[in-house]
């Protein structure tokens, strides 16, 4: 969190990196930063970074916990890491499946367009054939009539 020249909220530890124990002096730089930044004048409005350190039971240090608790925490972390790896592998597999399905979809789309073109061509042939059939049927009926008329004479 970032705070200005005011004191930090209660319950926040400063992790011991502030040069001055007083928040009111305006000297907030660490020893390493002082050479780069220079002294800070009192009353200037400078922001500092303060880290919140939890003070609850969830915070642990190896010296405070016994081996069984550490082993349990380690197993939990391993399980979480394994779960993360499993999710990443599944994500990779799903992305690969998406790419394969896109390729299949493009191939099927090209087949669909080809089939539509073929249907259009066959439909045109059918129309031509029907037209030829109708023309031949007219000629046949005319020839049949002529034969009938000739036989009657």
pLDDT of 21 over the 50 cut:
no
pLDDT of 123 over the 60 cut:
yes
The whole-number pLDDT of residue 68 equals 86
The whole-number pLDDT of residue 17 equals 44
d(CA 48, CA 33): 12
- The helix (run of H) or strand (run of E) holding residue 118 is helix 67-152
Q: Whole-model pTM above 0.75?
A: no
The answer for residues whose C-beta is within 8 angstroms of residue 14's C-beta and 6 or more apart is 8, 50, 51
d(CA 14, CA 30): 12
pLDDT of 52 over the 70 cut:
no
Q: Could you report the per-residue pLDDT of 53-84, keeping only the tens digit for each?
A: 556 555 555 555 588 888 999 999 999 999 99
Residue 140 burial (10 A CB sphere; 0-12, 13-18, 19+): exposed
Name the H helices within 3-66: 31-37
């Amino acid at each position: 969190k970032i705070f200005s020249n005011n004191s930090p909220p209660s319950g926040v530890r400063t992790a011991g990196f502030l040069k001055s124990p007083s928040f009111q002096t305006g000297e907030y730089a660490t020893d390493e930063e002082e050479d780069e930044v220079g002294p800070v004048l009192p009353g200037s409005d400078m922001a500092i970074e303060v880290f919140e350190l939890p003070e609850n039971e969830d915070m642990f240090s190896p010296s405070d916990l016994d081996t069984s608790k550490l082993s349990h925490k380690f197993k939990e972390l391993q399980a979480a890491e394994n779960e993360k790896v499993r999710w990443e592998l599944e994500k990779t597999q799903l992305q690969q499946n998406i790419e394969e399905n896109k390729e299949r979809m493009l191939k099927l789309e090209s087949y669909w367009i080809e089939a539509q073109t073929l249907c259009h061509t066959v439909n045109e042939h059918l129309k031509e054939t029907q037209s030829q059939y109708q023309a031949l049927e007219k000629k046949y009926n005319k020839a049949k009539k002529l034969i009938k008329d000739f036989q009657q004479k």
